[in-house]
Copies of this chain bind each other. A is one copy, B any other.
């Protein structure tokens, strides 16, 4: 019997987009970034590198610093400034994660293995503050007021977006516009800033900066839209968190907004009870998923994501068609296709 040489889903084996090409392109730079991260999170206070190490190690894909490294490469940058600045970007992201995970009493009961579950809220807050301050120290050592402005503006906008999200929590009347504004701020702004740093250190004209800032922002919006869909669809292991977290926390994301808008009076009452009042019982998550399927809101959310990914891809067209551009283009596809 001949060996099976082709995979089962052989129809489009090479068309499945991934981040592998991008990862390979920036691999040696990323190693330096990881060394910088380890070096700069040190402190005589041992709890700081312990707690920071926990979150940095579990931080996953390093997507944001990868954007800084890749756009620097795309812009033909030959120096070393992008290494430290990519570490800054990851520190700001990590500080945000730590502060995001500081939850009120009700959420602690789920007993997730977040830093605050292990070391307590206060340690998470304070180590986040340390990483945030350290990021600014690194930027100041870099010495560019322009980079400082980009990343401090991003930090303020992220915080604004997070507070805005807090305000929309449990509000099923949140509009699609308000939701998009939240994710542009809380997620996409750091993607935008990370991608803008490449052309800034390469000292390219402002038009290139704008293009890559826009690329990062659209990519970030697509990324978050897909994340919010995955919260209702993913296999638990693939997601790395519990399916239905957003539902249980009463976060009003686009799949909920669209289902509420399209829903009957009875369905709206369901959303108000479960997401609005957090009065949830066994089977409610399943019912939420059924209502989303009925109105096609997950697919509609992915459709929006596909649009933003396309816009991001479009923004790359002014740059030379080299390996970096191809890998960034593939990233825009990956961001959406990972939902399937």
Q: How far, in angstroms, from A181 to B316 measured CA to CA in the complex?
A: 51
Q: How far, in angstroms, from A270 to B170 measured CA to CA in the complex?
A: 48
The answer to whether A242 has its CB under 8 Å from any CB of chain B is no
Given A105-B108, A136-B136, A137-B152, answer yes or no on A163-B126 (Cβ-Cβ < 8 Å).
Answer: yes
A164 to chain B, nearest CB (A): 5
One complex includes copies of this chain to the number of 2
The answer to whether A125 has its CB under 8 Å from any CB of chain B is yes
Q: Scan residues 97-127 of chain A and give those whose CB is less than 8 A from a CB of chain B.
A: 99, 102-105, 108, 120-123, 125-127
The interface size bin for chain A is 35 or more
Contacts of A43 in B (CB 8 A): 160, 163
Interface centre among A46, A134, A149, A162 (most CB of B within 10 A): A162
The answer to whether A167 has its CB under 8 Å from any CB of chain B is yes
Given A145-B140, A145-B145, answer yes or no on A126-B45 (Cβ-Cβ < 8 Å).
Answer: no
Cβ contact within 8 Å between A164 and B45 = yes
Contact with B along A145-163 (1 / 0, CB 8 A): 1001100110110111011
Contacts of A126 in B (CB 8 A): 99, 159, 162-163, 166
Q: How far, in angstroms, from A45 to B182 measured CA to CA in the complex?
A: 10
The main secondary structure of chain A at its interface with chain B is helix
The answer to whether A47 has its CB under 8 Å from any CB of chain B is yes
Residue of B nearest to A100 (CB): B122
Q: How far, in angstroms, from A43 to B159 measured CA to CA in the complex?
A: 11
13 residue pairs from A and B, CB less than 8 Å apart: A47-B166, A48-B160, A48-B163, A102-B125, A104-B120, A121-B121, A122-B166, A126-B159, A127-B159, A130-B156, A133-B155, A133-B158, A140-B145
Q: A102-B121, A104-B122, A105-B105 are in contact. List 12 more A-B contacts (CB 8 A).
A: A45-B164, A47-B166, A99-B125, A129-B159, A130-B156, A133-B155, A133-B156, A136-B155, A137-B152, A137-B156, A143-B145, A148-B148
